[in-house]
């Protein structure tokens, strides 16, 4: 069950990696050379016509620098009781009230500066919400690649999770399917803050 759940999350959160096959390209470097005789202190300079006096700074996109969070996610789960499963319409109302939108069978928070928000996904096959089926297991997940202000996004995720837990009498679980505690939340926030600091989210 856990393996299937993680696989579904991975597929839905997968972001295609853009690569520049040309590598780093430098134009010919421009050097203004001094005569080797200048070592004696004459100060005389000559232009070497064989050198081209121009340099092009490589563009950032020309560096194929991998994102260390390419395959990393921040995930919370919500598990319903067997005899108290929420239906799609009630869940949708909650999602819309919290600012999420429905897209291709899952919910997504608003993006910021073209950075995708977190997603809310049905963890039962086939991995999308169906208006005809009640809900047993939900994932609230954020793909960490390229993210900024992860700590703030996590606050939104945990607030939503607690809201759903209370509204539908569900269990809020961590990524290992253990009951969420204050200590667990603290660990998530500590990790999120560390990533933010490393990525420069607090630079300004």
pLDDT digits (tens, 9 = 90+) for 184-195: 999 999 999 998
pLDDT for the residue numbered 27: 33
pLDDT for the residue numbered 122: 94
pLDDT band (50, 70, 90) for residue 123: very high
pLDDT band (50, 70, 90) for residue 90: very high
> DSSP for 155-182?
HHHHHHHHHHHHHHT-EEE-TTSPBP-H
Share of the chain above pLDDT 90, in %: 49
| 82-4-185 Cα angle (round to 5) | 70
pLDDT band (50, 70, 90) for residue 51: low
Please name each of the domains of the chain with its CATH number: 2-16+71-199 (3.30.1400.10), 24-63 (no CATH)
Among 18, 16, 3, 6, which residue's Cα sits nearest to residue 141?
6
16: pLDDT strictly greater than 60: no
For residues 98 and 163, give the distance between their C-alpha atoms in angstroms, rounded to a whole number: 10
pLDDT band (50, 70, 90) for residue 18: very low
129 Ramachandran zone, left/alpha/beta (phi>0; psi -120 to 50)? beta
Tokens found for residue 43: 């100060």
pLDDT for the residue numbered 141: 95
pLDDT for the residue numbered 115: 82
């Amino acid at each position: 069950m856990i393996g299937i759940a993680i696989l579904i999350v991975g597929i839905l959160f997968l972001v295609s990696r853009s690569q520049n096959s040309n590598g780093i390209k430098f134009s010919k470097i421009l050097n203004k050379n001094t005569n080797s005789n200048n070592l004696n202190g004459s100060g005389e300079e000559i232009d070497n016509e064989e050198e081209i006096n121009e340099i092009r700074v490589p563009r950032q996109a020309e560096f194929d620098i991998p994102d260390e969070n390419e395959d990393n996610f921040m995930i919370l789960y919500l598990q319903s009781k067997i005899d108290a499963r929420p239906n799609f319409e009630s869940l949708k109302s909650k999602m819309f009230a919290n600012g999420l939108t429905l897209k291709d069978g899952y919910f997504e928070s608003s993006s910021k500066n073209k950075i995708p928000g977190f997603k809310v996904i049905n963890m039962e096959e086939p991995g999308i919400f169906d208006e005809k089926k009640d809900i047993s297991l939900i994932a609230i997940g954020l793909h960490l690649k390229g993210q900024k202000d992860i700590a703030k996004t996590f606050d939104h995720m945990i607030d939503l999770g607690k809201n759903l837990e209370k509204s539908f009498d569900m269990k809020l679980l961590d990524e290992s399917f253990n009951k969420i505690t204050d200590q667990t939340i603290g660990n998530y926030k500590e990790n999120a803050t560390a990533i933010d600091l490393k990525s420069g989210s607090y630079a300004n």
